[in-house]
Copies of this chain bind each other. A is one copy, B any other.
Amino acid sequence: MTEVLILIFDLVGTIAFAISGALVGVGKRMDLFGTIVLAVCTATGGGVLRDLMVGNIPPYMFRNPLFVGIAALVALAVFFLVYLHTKMPKILSTVYDKMLFWFDTLGLAAFTVDGVMVGIRKGYEDNVFLLVFLGFLTAVGGGTLRDVLAGRIPDIFLKHIYAVAAIAGGVTLTLTRFLGARVSMILGFGVVIALRCLAAHYRWNLPRIKE
State the A residues within 8 Å of B (CB): 25-26, 28-35, 37-38, 52-55, 57-59, 62-65, 68, 79, 82-83, 89, 124, 127, 129-130, 133, 144, 148-154, 156-158, 160, 163-164, 205-209, 211
Contacts and interface: CB of A to CB of B under 8 A. Distances in A.
25 contacts: A30-B158, A31-B158, A31-B160, A31-B205, A33-B164, A33-B206, A34-B157, A34-B163, A35-B157, A52-B53, A53-B58, A53-B62, A58-B130, A62-B129, A63-B129, A64-B129, A68-B133, A83-B209, A144-B149, A148-B148, A149-B153, A149-B154, A150-B153, A151-B151, A151-B152
A205 to B, nearest CB: 7
Given A54-B57, A58-B130, A153-B150, A211 B29 contact: yes
Nearest to A122: B58
A63 B127 contact: yes
Contacts of A33: 163-164, 206
A150 to B, nearest CB: 7
Contacts of A151: 151-153
Contact of A34 (B133, B149, B158): B158
Given A37-B163, A130-B58, A157-B25, A32 B211 contact: no
Contacts of A25: 157
Contacts of A133: 62, 68
A11 B2 CA distance: 41
B157 A32 contact: no
A30 B62 contact: no
B31 A206 contact: yes
Contact of A89 (B149, B152, B209): B209
Contacts of A124: 58
Given A149-B157, A151-B151, 18 more contacts: A30-B158, A31-B157, A31-B207, A31-B208, A33-B164, A34-B157, A34-B206, A52-B52, A52-B53, A53-B62, A54-B58, A55-B55, A55-B57, A58-B130, A64-B129, A68-B133, A79-B209, A148-B148
